[in-house]
Structure 1
């Protein structure tokens, strides 16, 4: 987390001090919706337990607020704070958690293999910094490339597991499969995970279509990585089981601020 903070601070300071002119500088505000999907990547400790790459999904509603500094005609640098709501969903595990059944002579028998499936989702408050390079193409068109990150602070969520055991011809399904569902509040999250926040970094690419000199619609995509939380009580070699997630998604919103 310290490395993320140092990186963001360095980016912001470098951009500010590189500015040489402010002819079209001004306040900038964006409101947008975003969503995407990707891969949930287990850490080393999880891989040692045979966890494989899983799936991840994310969506958010956010506002970006800051200032655009005009460097020269057609090029500006924005320093934006980002805040909003984020929803994240992760699925991972190992083995096969399906259960087969066979009915013979009026009796049903159940069989399964060893497997574990873990799914988590969170509702989070999102807070970060997103500097952007703005390129104007003249007229109604513009492009922005952003590099930044921050933290997602989970407020609530859900933790679910499905476990199966290598048993053949069991009399009941409960003998071969076990499930657990826990609704999480903020205190549960701090008790269960360390750290209890999700760090994130992302790169964004936005196309701006201006309706006036200061109002535009933005269409974009993002590449992001989440530094996931580790489960405190599920450890290997003293390190918690966890991982991260790489996501690719689309974003759509409105921008209020000067052209580059």
Structure 2
């Protein structure tokens, strides 16, 4: 009998402690806008041709949905799935693809170009990933969240542009710039590039300003890396590193 009472007491204490520890646990939803810019890191094959990375940029609209587990008062861990739309731009090249002209008096102008190449790609993608976060309560109305996660962006459509010039002079402008512009559909991306998806990783730093116990505005910063598509035949392409800002609304318990 004493053993039964002891067992029941231990069970009651365990349940009470467990209920207390997870009292602030609950469903979490965050809707946000994000955008930033960075630099492209070209592949070895691109570098061997003298191609250098230029500007990258990204923007997205996403929802983060999951559950926050409160570990102790003022500290919780969120397990969040991420869904949304993403837009990404990658540019690289070398030299200049501009055309200059020189004309004296009534003389016909002379057009000239330098040796150069300019490659630009952008994609509209469906984004899906996982983003665990560590939540730390700050004061009565604030919290800090640090997230580390990643996933994939699946390009649905896009655009590819390449301009190429040689070091020449001509009395006519036509033919000095070799241009290729392709509007990409999903099948084109699958046929032309490998991988045909964009893997991504990111670290986020957020500050939640709570208006109520469960509604907050989110102000944040992210550091992100993309593993961009490369041309199948020549493996020219690049990855990117971006820094950006994010702004949104959060619905869920405070740590």
Asked if 1 retains the 8 angstrom alpha-carbon contact of 2:53 and 2:238, the reply is no
Query: 90-99 or 243-252: which moved more?
Result: 90-99
Displacement of 1:190 in angstroms is 0.5
Identify the residue that residue 71 of structure 1 maps to in structure 2. Answer: 71
Displacement of 1:157 in angstroms is 0.7
Identify the residue that residue 242 of structure 1 maps to in structure 2. Answer: 237
Displacement of 1:53 in angstroms is 2.2
Identify the residue that residue 167 of structure 1 maps to in structure 2. Answer: 168
Displacement of 1:249 in angstroms is 0.3
Identify the residue that residue 123 of structure 1 maps to in structure 2. Answer: 124
Asked if 2 retains the 8 angstrom alpha-carbon contact of 1:213 and 1:259, the reply is yes
Identify the residue that residue 112 of structure 1 maps to in structure 2. Answer: 113
Cα distance between partner residues in 1 of 2:216 and 2:61 = 18
Identify the residue that residue 35 of structure 1 maps to in structure 2. Answer: 35
- Please tell me whether residue 255 in structure 1 is matched to residue 250 in structure 2: yes
SS at match of 1:222: strand
Name the TM-score, length of structure 2 as normaliser. Answer: 0.90
Identify the residue that residue 184 of structure 1 maps to in structure 2. Answer: 184
Please identify runs of 4+ aligned residues in structure 1 that moved more than 4 A: none
Identify the residue that residue 196 of structure 1 maps to in structure 2. Answer: 196
Cα distance between partner residues in 2 of 1:26 and 1:210 = 16
* Structure 1: gaps spanning 5 or more residues: 1-19
Cα distance between partner residues in 1 of 2:95 and 2:243 = 26
Name the TM-score, length of structure 1 as normaliser. Answer: 0.88
Encode CA deviations 1:158-203: one digit per residue, 9 max, x unaligned.
11111111112x1222332121211111011101101100000000
Asked if 2 retains the 8 angstrom alpha-carbon contact of 1:38 and 1:55, the reply is yes
Identify the residue that residue 226 of structure 1 maps to in structure 2. Answer: 226
> Considering only CA atoms, is the larger Rg found in Structure 1 or Structure 2?
2
Asked if 2 retains the 8 angstrom alpha-carbon contact of 1:166 and 1:176, the reply is no
* Structure 2: gaps spanning 5 or more residues: 1-19
Greater per-residue strand proportion = 1
> How many pairs does the alignment contain?
235
For residues 18-167 of structure 1, the aligned pairs below 5 Å read 21-104=21-104, 105-167=106-168
Cα distance between partner residues in 1 of 2:108 and 2:92 = 34
